[in-house]
Structure 1
Amino acid sequence: MNSNSEYPIELTVVMPCLNEAETLEICVQKANRFFEQHQVKGEVIVADNGSTDGSQEIAQRNGARVVDIPTKGYGSALRGGILAAKGEYIVMGDSDDSYDFSNLMPYVEKLRKGYDLVMGNRFKGGIESGAMPFLHYYLGNPVLSFIGRLFFKSAIGDFHCGLRGFSKKAFLKMDTKTTGMEFASEMVMKATLLEMKITEVPIKLYQDGRSRPPHLRTWRDGWRHLRFMLMYAPSWLFLYPGLFLMIFGLLSSVFLVAGPVQIGSGVFDINTLIYMSISVLVGFQS
């Protein structure tokens, strides 16, 4: 039960939605079942991003509150739904039935203990066969999560898990701006930079119930995540590459000043020295 009079309910479940008629009903039903079974005072918000397949009616028929979000994008839909939430705590998750909304107690327990952000970890909880594309499993998620941990000294193992919980107060402090899929990275990055209290819980990822392709675009959205992380990590974008160029250029120039250097059939002479000098200048300017 919610003892904080500032919020009328304890938990809001926010589901972004764009033509999810195939799976939305079961997702809302699972969330409502969770509220009933665990006696949690809650609500479901469906943040609709312009569905044309009747998703809005399905949501309302199952007791969810529909919030229309005119600005397109995953981040826009979630941000609009979160801002409309009445709960002290919020759990967000995709409405494609890839997450089990009837199993949210691990999130609620952590939030009640004072954590600002509770991330799910699909790699610890298990990934059903076929639930995650090969590239996402072996390249996209591991690499981007590693970069996130490296750049921001975060302990989070699964940066891009779509099922996560947080307090509304913490979300407002994050002041998120992104409108696309990089919203997922922005939340973790800003929570880390603001030194918020963050933890993880293992969760299982299931194969989604849709017959159409997902909205996620592997290379485009992967690049957007990486670009955004680089924007918030200027040392990795400018300082460290600049130092490497400057040191490499200086060391190479020292060898080339004495005269041409031959390695195998290749000869490094005055032209190489010019390039190394440019490397030093570029590195210094960075």
Structure 2
Amino acid sequence: MTIDVVLPCLNEAAALPWILDRMPPGYVAIVADNGSSDGTPEIAAELGARVVKEPRRGFGAACHTGLLAATGDIVCFMDGDASLDPRQLPRVVVPVLAGEADLVLGRRIPRTRAAWPPHARLGNAALARSLRRRTGAPLHDLGPMRACSRAGLIALGLTDRRFGYPLEMVLRAARSGWRIAEVEVDYLPRSGRSKVTGTIRGTMRAVADMRRVMNSVQASGSPVRSADGS
């Protein structure tokens, strides 16, 4: 079985060699380039990744273009900045393949203090608490490493094309009664400066996008189930 891995990228040329070299057998990297100027798409292609381009700027726009380019039954997402180890992708995939969960997120465990700035960690914790209250999903982190059914995700009809895309995925999955789970993954210092957590302004922009999505998506359909069926 081939499993597609969508890597939304904007100027990640320095990180991609490490990421693509560590992609597990059977996992195919799809680099969704969002207008890089540092040679990201060329380097990705040279290293064997499939490259698709999304000129419309936006994290969600790149993710969704990668999703539509995927062909495998299972699709994964992860950041392209070397903050997550591709060798840990099976951790989020195995529960989906085993039929134990429909959507699995990697709960980031920072391995160094520099991996996760305090302002970003606090914002993420507050968002996770709100998410648990609204959906019942047993999540403590809105982690970017995740796995689910490709066809199922397309059917959810995600519309956000900015930083709210990962949150909308969870909210719409919850509303559709998906079993949502999380597993621990290592969180490493990223390569280069983050477009989001690297600055307080970037973090606030992402929080604003997510708040807008949280308010617009009513997770009030079938109750979400945890991976153990509760």
Same fold, TM-score > 0.5, yes or no: yes
Match of 1:130 in 2: 114
Instruction: State how far apart, in whole Å, the 1-side matches of 2:81 and 2:115 are.
Output: 11
1:61 CA drift (Å):
0.9
Q: Letter of the aligned partner of 2:64 in structure 1?
A: R
108-117 or 88-97: bigger deviation = 108-117
Give the whole-Å Cα distance in 2 for the aligned partners of 1:191 and 1:80: 19
Map residues 84-99 of structure 1 onto 2, 5 A cutoff.
84-99=69-84
4+ aligned runs moved over 6 Å, structure 1: none
Native 8 Å contact 1:18 1:51 kept in 2: yes
Tell me which residue corresponds to 2:199. none
TM-score, length basis structure 1:
0.72
Q: What residue identity is the alignment partner of 2:211?
A: L
Q: TM-score, normalised by structure 2?
A: 0.88
Asked whether the equivalents of residues 42 and 87 of structure 1 are also in contact (C-alpha less than 8 Å), the reply is no
Aligned residues: CA RMSD: 1.5
Aligned position for 1:48: 33
Distance in 2, matches of 1:144 and 1:116, equals: 21
Determine the C-alpha separation between the residues in 2 that align with 1:149 and 1:103.
25
Counterparts of 1:252-267 in structure 2, within 5 Å, are none
Question: Structure 2 residue aligned with 1:14, among 6, 16, 34?
Answer: 6
| 1:234 positional shift | 9.1
Q: Is the 8 A contact 2:110 2:116 kept in 1?
A: no
1:173 to 151, 155, 180: 155
Structure 1 gaps of 5+ residues are: 3-9, 36-40, 236-286
CA distance in 2, matches of 1:186, 1:234: 10
CA drift at 1:104: 1.6
Q: Once the 2 structures are TM-superposed, how far is the Cα of residue 127 of structure 1 from its aligned partner? A: 4.2
Judge conservation of contact 1:152–1:233 (CA < 8 Å) in 2.
no
Distance in structure 2 (CA, Å) of the matches to 1:80 and 1:67: 7
Q: How many angstroms does 1:153 deviate by?
A: 2.2
Q: Does 1:226 align with 2:211?
A: yes
If you compute each CA radius of gyration, which structure gives the higher value, 1 or 2? 1
**By how many angstroms is 1:133 displaced?**
1.1
* Aligned 8 A contact 2:172 2:219 in 1: no
**Cα offset for 1:126?**
4.0
Which protein has greater RCO, CA pairs closer than 8 Å, 6+ apart? 2
Q: In the alignment, which of 69, 80, 86 is matched to residue 101 of structure 1?
A: 86
SS of the residue 2:195 aligns to: coil
Following superposition, the deviation at residue 188 of structure 1 comes to 0.5
Distance 1:55 1:23 in 2: 9
Count of aligned positions: 214
% of aligned pairs identical? 32
Residue from 75, 84, 96 that aligns with 1:111: 96
User: Comparing both structures, which one devotes a greater share of its residues to helix?
Assistant: 1
Please name the residue that 2:194 is paired with.
214
**Structure 2: runs of 5 or more not aligned:** 197-201, 221-230
Residue of 141, 144, 157 corresponding to 2:140: 157
58-67 vs 108-117, which moves further: 108-117
| 8 Å Cα contact 1:90-1:167 kept in structure 2 | yes
